[in-house]
Amino acid sequence: MVRIPENIENLKSYKPGKPIDQIIEEFGLKETAILWNNENNFGPSPLAMEYLQKSMANSHLYPDPACLELRGLIAKKNQVLIGNVAVGNGSESLFNNLFNSFFEVGDELLTCAGTFVAVYIWAQANKVKVNTVPLTSTYNFDLDALAKRVDKKTKAIYLSNPNNPTGAMISGEEMVNFIKKIPPEVIIVVDEAYYEYAVDLSPDYPDTTAYRYDNVITLRTFSKAYGIAAIRIGYAIASERMIDALMKVKLTFEPSNVAQAAGIGAIQDEKYLRNTVENNTHELHYYYRELHKLGYNFIPSYANFVMLDLGNPESVQILFEELMKRGVFVRVLRAFGLPHCLRITVGLPEENRLCLKALAECKSLIPA
Ligand SMILES: Cc1ncc(COP(=O)(O)O)c(C=O)c1O
């Protein structure tokens, strides 16, 4: 029998839920609000789709492995050099490639318990031990505890800013103070998947691509604010040395021609981005007001989602199921290590109203 390595045998990989169409049919749902994956419910950026469609005619040819056009546009937008930009099949792919590029046997990853679940999955898949410290009482990264926990085996520290799934933000001042405390040989991975939302929500949100530290690597994505999650395209910004290493290990023709083209269109789609971000900021504040009125305990967010703290896993399960019966799909956070919490993506105005109506109806069903 073929031996499966222990780290893979024991790996709890991403478990998709029941297909939505099946649930809609089961409950006979007339209206739905899909608010469980932090996607952009406005649909894809139209400019991204325009570029993608044109690129399809060249699908018989291998795409540009150096991804020069897209990397050039990302570099220009972020005022860095093309050599400071890598692209991949989503930021998740770039994160996974960090292990191949930088980790040697025995190197460890440090992060907080209660962050983006893929981090633990990809680390285990790459036989990398993850050390964690708890989040703070306000569900943020505990930067002091992380800095103290660094030891000789720590190769990299992962921060999600804002943090998925809690929405908490590390400010510019906190980020700079933290980076200064970390030895220069330790990589600091700052995952800014929700960057475009965060800059609109807080003037204190740091743009780490503007830093010039040799050990900081910023990950961003086109999956969220640009609305092309299915296309799979993300990017990293870092020192030329680190980007060179990352580009060496990516699959030769990753990302595909259509993904590169969609990214090229998306990054120029200022109108779409503005509309998305304005809707999010407006609707997030609407959620705050209504959740407060309804008496739900929520965590202020700097992303396109808001997390409710319901105090116990039983309440989470009840609310999740009751919302689903009313056509509202949200995320339980057991796999993220926060079984007493539930995450709601900010959707279109009508979806958010459907969600809040359902939350109002369900409040009395949750044990106090
Ligand atoms: C913090 C964080 N990083 C990365 C991703 C995934 O990004 P991508 O679609 O580019 O792989 C997500 C998606 O939910 C996320 O929340």
What atom of ligand 1 comes closest to residue 233's alpha carbon? 10
| 9 contacts: CB under 8 Å, gap ≥ 6 | none
Compute the distance from residue 152 Cα to the ligand 1 centre, in Å. 29
Residue with CA nearest ligand 1 atom 2: 193
Q: What is the DSSP letter of 268?
A: T
Residue 193 CB less than 6 A away from ligand 1: yes
Task: State the Cα–Cα distance between residues 166 and 163, nearest whole angstrom.
Answer: 6
Dist CA 176 CA 334 (whole Å): 32
The response to whether residue 345 sits with its C-beta less than 6 Å from ligand 1 reads no
| 301 Cβ closer than 6 Å to some ligand 1 atom | no
Mutation choice for ligand 1 from 14, 94, 221, 331, CB with most ligand atoms inside 8 A: 221
Q: pLDDT (tens digit, 0 to 9) for every residue of the chain, 368 residues total?
A: 999 999 999 998 777 777 888 989 988 999 999 999 999 999 999 999 999 999 999 999 999 999 999 999 999 999 999 999 999 999 999 999 999 999 999 999 999 999 999 999 999 999 999 999 999 999 999 999 999 999 999 999 999 999 999 999 999 999 999 999 999 999 999 999 999 999 999 999 998 998 889 999 999 999 999 999 999 999 999 999 999 999 999 999 999 999 999 999 999 999 999 999 999 999 999 999 999 999 999 999 999 999 999 999 999 999 999 999 999 999 999 999 999 999 999 999 999 999 999 999 999 999 87
Q: Which atom of ligand 1 is nearest to the CA of 222?
A: 10
Does the beta carbon of 92 lie inside 6 Å of ligand 1? yes
Q: Where are the beta strands (DSSP E) in the chain?
A: 33-34, 85-88, 108-113, 129-134, 154-160, 187-191, 216-221, 234-237, 298-299, 305-309, 328-329, 331-332, 341-345
Ligand 1 proximity of 223 Cβ (cutoff 6 Å):
yes
pTM of the model: 0.96
List domains and CATH numbers for the chain.
Answer: 6-30+271-365 (3.90.1150.10), 46-269 (3.40.640.10)
Residue 87 CA to ligand 1 centre (angstroms): 14
From ligand 1's centre to the CA of 92, what distance in Å? Answer: 6
Closest residue by Cα to residue 227 from 56, 41, 78, 34? 41
d(CA 238, CA 98): 12
